[in-house]
Chain A
Amino acid sequence: MSDVLLLAIDTSTSAITVALHDGSSVLAEATTLGARGHAEHLAPGIRTVLDRAGVTPTDVTHVAVGLGPGPFTGLRVGIVTARTFALAVGARVHGLCSLDVLAHQGVVSGAVSGGELLVATDARRKEVYWSRYAVEPAQPGGIRRIGDPTVSRPADLDADVVALPTVGRGPQLYPDVWTAGILSPGELRSAPVLPGSSEGFGLIDVSAAALAELVIQRLAAGDPVDEHEPFYLRRPDAVPSASSAIARSALG
């Protein structure tokens, strides 16, 4: 693809991750791991990748964002940042299920090379967000999602699902459930594998470089990738009482 400058953002996992991609390779990437303040770190991260690549905001032609599922507050920061940036510079907005990106990371890193894989991430409240994927080299990103992303208690997953090679934080959080599917420590941090990338990525958190690569591949395959509504998977009424406290309670 020519004349492409894609800004990629994901805030669905504990990484606040940003990358720039020119359609053939990664130009710059910046990831803050384990940070809590998504809103604090994201905008400086975008400035960092723009500066590193020596481009200006108006050079950006596409903005891609991870749509989760993930903790709501951080997720919204990423999506509203992407939508607003695109509005300001007249770029197109693209959205991807963040679990798809992790599946792509599992394949492109070489950790999983055939059959099926599972992505399971932290949904808090003793649950995981998860999805199954078929590894198919002919597909963009080498993966095909089987079914919709779901939120479940780990113990409620079928044994044959949990036995699949698993990407994401789920196995680390619930080692009593993932007794077979957990990848070895060596597989949890890959060497740089994406064209142009100087950084590796783990298989625990989303990498914006991998997100950018997956969007570019899907666009090249003719998929418009133009949905950008968040994957909440839970109704607002179901959030824990600490954060769902009615601000102006009428129960006095």
Chain B
Amino acid sequence: MASVNVMRKQNIRTKAGTKMQFDYWLLLSIAALLVVGMLAVYSVTFDYGFLYKNNSSYYFQRQFISLLLGLAGIVVIMQFDYHVFRKLSVPLLLATLAGLFVILFFSESIFGAKRGFTGGSYQPSELAKLAVILYIAHWLSSKGERIQQLTYGLIPFSVITGVVTALIVLQPDLSTAALVALVSYTLFFIAGADWRQFAAAGVVGGGIFLLLITTLPHAAARVSAYTVALNDPTQAGWHVQQALIALGRGGWSGVGIGQSVQKFGPLPMAHTDGVFAILSEEVGFLGGMVVIGLYGMLAWRGIRTAQTARDSYGALLALGITFWLSYQALINIAVITALIPFTGMPLPFLSYGGSSLLISLFGVGILLNISRDAAMNKRRQIN
């Protein structure tokens, strides 16, 4: 990547005959996760739905609509060359910032936090994850080796990342902010940041993070509960204990699909952050391994896509999306297994939640698009 990337002046619409040449392993892993996810959502929510909405498939239906919208989004994304997002990344980021602003100042708060529009069913912070990746990939790849200079690299990078994460921290949604920052730093690092600058940024970012978790009261309480729980999980908070009980009940092969007890009350938010615990209870260690394996496959194919991408923009974008989804899955399961303090982080494709599923699918759409572009590019080179 010695030269600066410039978008080719070619028709950004793809030719009809080459549309289907994307990475099938990637698609397979996503499809499998979606099937498992829909099953899990129904299994966990039929009781909630019946109790609170008088319709046991209420949540399943809502999730299914998001799934259809997501799939439609993928189809739309596949109509274009993904380089179109270079142009779109700035307006998208501005729209995200506007959304975060509006939410901070004009929306009703739910459970002490302002996170979404229309009763929390649309959350700009989910969009922020993808928008930041799109913008950072575009920005880093257009700067080339100049990102090693302070004025081209660290400073503007820190401003961009800082503004977005600050807005999310203010909601307050510390874990999403941390994820956005983490993915941004990862891209900055891979793109070729200067080691010293990167270390400095890491120290500053880490310092801010530490400051936040010690000053934000709920975060501090969770961290102190965590240090106790790490040594002796039987002293952990209610959430963690119930999650571990779910794991224990699952054993090797689980209590059977739909047969979880922990989802009927003991484990709070079983359908969102706790879905892996319920899954492990129902299909056991072996089932959990299959799911982790599917995420592994997704990550592997994502990285393959990055390696074969036509240019550094494609590579950084593919890595950004791949690491975003991987981090999120890892953090969610780490919470369930009491490895890190309790935090609300949805498990991609499995947790109930429209925004999360939709944005994840859009990300996957872009990933598929890059893989197709790589395959076409390779063939072009062979020809």
The answer to whether A and B belong to the same complex is no
